[in-house]
Amino acid sequence: MDNSVNTPLRDDVRLLGDLLGQCLRQQAGDDLYQTIETIRKASVTTRGEQGAALSSLRDLLSPLDDATLLEVARAFSQFLNLSNIAEQHHRERLHRQHQR
């Protein structure tokens, strides 16, 4: 699929991720938000890599207590839910464009 066709989807996912980040900061505090952001950025770097990158991600997660790990998991779960909603919306947008 043409990359430019997916630009609105990427924009929607970015917007929803930013809004989720704002909610996390407001509801859970800046410390948890920073923890999640650090893990998210480390996760992005592990894509397609093995070994050291995955080890650094493990190093970020291992010292966290169960309550924090649960909050991190919930945040990533919500991001995936929002991404799925954005994808469904994008498919409908493309379908409407195709019908025109």
What is the mean pLDDT of the segment spanning 63-81?
97
Give 28's contacts (C-beta < 8 A, 6+ positions apart): 71
Contact 11, 3 (CB under 8 A): no
pLDDT at 1 over 70: no
Residue with more model confidence, 47 or 1:
47
Alpha helices in 4-100 (DSSP H): 7-28, 30-46, 52-61, 66-99
pTM for the full predicted model = 0.84
pLDDT given at position 2: 59
Model pLDDT for residues 22-70, shown as the tens digit of each residue: 999 999 999 999 999 999 998 888 776 666 677 888 899 999 999 999 9
